[in-house]
Amino acid sequence: MNHRWQSRWLNGALILLIGFTVLLGGCQTSPATTTTSADAVYQQRSPSRDGIGKFYMGREIAQVMGHLGAGWLERPSREREEKPQALIKALDLKPTDVVADIGAGTGYFSFRISSLVPQGKVLAVDVQPEMLAIIEAIRQEKKVGNVETVLGSTTIPNLKAGSIDLALMVDAYHEFDHPREMMQAIAQALKPDGRVVLVEYRGENPLIPIKPLHKMTQRQVRSEMAAVGLTWLETKETLPQQHILFFGKQA
């Protein structure tokens, strides 16, 4: 694995311990009393230690890992722990594919995918300008021409309708502040035969050492995707700790 480009942007100052704290540890249960928002899609409760107190389809939304936790995304042990190359292989990408890496962070997957879509491109989408600045610096240093940064918002990814072949979200969806609005917008951005892929730590397994709010069960993911009109296609369990769930548009 080539970490040459990390030296300038991802020194120890990016604080691996901050990212580690965000993703590992325990989780407190929020009180049973609820206040229903005017939207009725979401409910607001007192937040747990690792959540924002906003509930969607029975699930508390997790706190976002900020740009100071970028070192966690680039940790050397990630290759061993998560097998990212196995995930990329499972995507079955075509050279002409347009891939949206939603919640791209430091571009960990964006740059690994870019060489597999030489006639296509990767749209690295994030809501944090600081993350996009890191991606842009790496893109220029590595002279990668088919990775483009896109500043999204908490409700839309800012992608054109019918423009992408695949939307990839790796350990990101559980942090979406407005998951229904985001997924509706992502579904609109798909080409007719486009796919959505969610990679989430397995919530069914209590032995996976990730905070509960940063894991999701397959049942929960499938329910939330069905709510926005996405059909489950398959689940691949080839990774050590994460589900790979594939969805498509309903016919």
Q: 74-91, pLDDT tens digit by residue?
A: 677 778 788 999 999 999
Q: Nearest CA to 199 among 190, 210, 184?
A: 210
pLDDT of amino acid 22: 35
For residue 4, pLDDT over 70 is answered with no
Residue 197 covered by a domain: yes
**How many CB atoms within 10 Å of residue 55?**
19
For residue 161, pLDDT over 60 is answered with yes
Amino acid identity, position 12: G
Give the pair of three-digit tokens for residue 232.
């489950």
Rounded-to-5 percentages of helix, strand, coil across the chain: 30, 25, 40
For residue 148, pLDDT over 50 is answered with yes
pLDDT of amino acid 82: 85
Higher pLDDT, 181 or 5: 181
pLDDT of amino acid 76: 73
Residue 160 covered by a domain: yes
Mean pLDDT of the 134-152 span: 97
- For residue 22, the SS3 value is helix
**How many CB atoms within 10 Å of residue 62?**
24
Which pTM value belongs to this model?
A: 0.83
Q: Which residue segment(s) compose the domain that 134 sits in? A: 78-249
Strand partners, 60: 55
For residue 73, pLDDT over 90 is answered with no
Q: Which residue's entry shows tokens 């990839």?
A: 168
Residue 173 and residue 154: Cα distance in Å, rounded?
Answer: 11
Which H or E run includes 229? none
Residue 229 covered by a domain: yes
Task: Annotate 225-247 with b (16+ C-beta within 10 A) or e (fewer).
Answer: beebebebeeebeebebbbbbbb
Residue 6 covered by a domain: no
| CATH number of the domain within which 91 lies | 3.40.50.150
Residue 241 covered by a domain: yes
Q: For residue range 36-47, what is the model confidence (pLDDT) as tens digits?
A: 444 689 999 999
Residue 210 covered by a domain: yes
Q: How confident is the model at residue 23 (pLDDT cuts 50, 70, 90)?
A: very low
Give the pair of three-digit tokens for residue 104.
């791209």
Q: How confident is the model at residue 132 (pLDDT cuts 50, 70, 90)?
A: very high
Residue 117 covered by a domain: yes
Residue 215 covered by a domain: yes
pLDDT of amino acid 24: 37
Strand partners, 148: 123
Q: Which residue's entry shows tokens 């597999």?
A: 116
Whether residue 24 contacts residue 75, with contact meaning beta carbons closer than 8 Å, is answered with no
- Domain total in the chain: 1
Strand partners, 149: 124
Q: What's the mean per-residue pLDDT of the chain?
A: 86
For residue 238, pLDDT over 70 is answered with yes
Q: Measure CA 147 to chain center.
A: 17
Q: For residue range 166-191, what is the model confidence (pLDDT) as tens digits?
A: 999 999 999 999 999 999 999 999 99
